[in-house]
Structure 1
Amino acid sequence: MNETRARQLLVTEARRLSAIHAAVDGDLAAGQSDADTRPASDAWGPDGAALLLEHEVEESLRVVVDDERAEVALALTRVDLGTYGSCVACGVAIPDERLELVPATRFCVACEAADERRAERGPTPVLDPALRVAVQELDAWDDDGDDDDVVVPGAEEDAVHTRTRSAR
């Protein structure tokens, strides 16, 4: 994709996101103004939960839009540097069709998919050193074969008082 077309796509996307950002900011400001004029006793009235949910949704939308605006700014910088259109992970050329659909994309399809799979797995858990020692000790316990750990049906429920009296 040539630099002129790339810049045109990115500027159009930046304008679209700026309009959304301004609309969300206006909604948030109006909601705050309403909250400032409403008596404290009305804050938790019948509409309080709905208003709080609406505010949270708008705030979340603003965060997403701000992230996308940052991606567009970064893409414009890549245009200036001459690296726009190449995957930032592997360097492969990103197809023009993909850039037309998602102008600020940084990754080729393969790298994007790999990144999403990594995100789905979540962070790798880090065991606290004390917990690691405890797990190793449990693993080292050996079952001597005798039945000193007999399981009594219902004992757990009795211990935490979760069964009803009629079930006993």
Structure 2
Amino acid sequence: MPTAFSPEPPPTGVGLGYGIAIAVSTLVLISSIMLTSYICIRVKANASSRASVTDDDAISGSSSVEPAVLVLGLNGSVVESYPKIVLGESLRLPKPNNGPCSICLSEYLPKDLVRCIPDCHHCFHADCVDEWLKMNATCPLCRSSPASSRGPTSLTTPLSELVPLAFHAR
């Protein structure tokens, strides 16, 4: 009687060898692409820095490039227009305030000069908040912008209205 033909299973070492060869060649390919792109970026950066130095040398003294000044804070007259309070012996501040100054973290003392931001009514030491507002145009606590908006109304624009947090909560 004829016997049924049963194929022998392939040796297991050959399949494993191909898998390892494919994995190693993939890693080598990715590494070489990364190395090539790194070298291209470095060469391009060096070329652009050399070109800018050459361009700076070519510019005559009469036509110099002025650096741009970026002002992030409020104008000194705007900061000075905010109300100041001299603390009494009771050390009571307007309603939303409690605890130490949020900028310098020191307790308020009697006869301290305190400045309040008009829209959110948060109060701080006058020296602390003056320096803060000259560098940042927002309240240190609630981050609302005390600067008036440029639109048709003179209402302030809190940052939460510009980009509400609930919009990104998904």
Normalization by structure 1: what TM-score? 0.27
Which of 1 and 2 has higher RCO (CA within 8 Å, sep 6+)? 1
Taking structure 2 as the reference length, what is the TM-score of the superposition?
0.27
Q: Which structure has the greater CA radius of gyration?
A: 2
Identify, as 1 or 2, the structure richer in strand. 2
